[in-house]
Amino acid sequence: MNHVIREAYGAVFEDALIEELIEISTIYDFEEGDKLIEIGEYIKKMPLLLHGAIKIMREDKDEGELLLYFIEKGDTCAFTLICSLGEKRSEIRAIAETSGSLAMVPVSKMEEWMGKYRSWRNFVLNSYNNRLSEMLVAVDNLAFMKMDDRLLSHLQEKAKINNSTIINNTHQEIAYELNTSRVVISRLLKSFENDGLIRLNRKNIELLHSEK
Tell me the per-residue pLDDT of 111-152, one tens digit each, with 9 for 90 and over. 889 889 999 999 988 988 888 888 787 777 777 778 999 999
Percent of the chain with pLDDT strictly greater than 70: 94
Nearest-5° angle of CA 70, CA 72, CA 77?
65
Domain at 2-143: CATH code? 2.60.120.10
CATH number for the domain whose boundaries are 145-207: 1.10.10.10
pLDDT digits (tens, 9 = 90+) for 18-46: 999 999 999 999 999 999 988 888 888 88
Backbone Cα Rg of the chain: 18
CB 36 within 8 A of CB 46: no
Give the chain's count of helices (H) and strands (E).
8, 10
Burial class (CB in 10 A: 0-12, 13-18, 19+), 40: exposed
User: Looking at residue 52, what is its pLDDT?
Assistant: 94
**3-class SS letters over 41-58:** CECCEEEEEEECEEEEEE
Residues of the chain with CATH 2.60.120.10: 2-143
pLDDT of residue 116: 93
Residue 14 CB partners (closer than 8 Å, separation 6+): 117, 118, 119
**Residue 205 burial (CB < 10 Å; 0-12/13-18/19+)?**
buried
Which residue intervals of the chain bear CATH 1.10.10.10? 145-207
Name the DSSP letter for residue 17.
Answer: H
Q: Does position 212 have pLDDT exceeding 60, yes or no? A: no
How crowded is residue 15: how many other Cβ atoms within 10 Å of its Cβ? Answer: 9
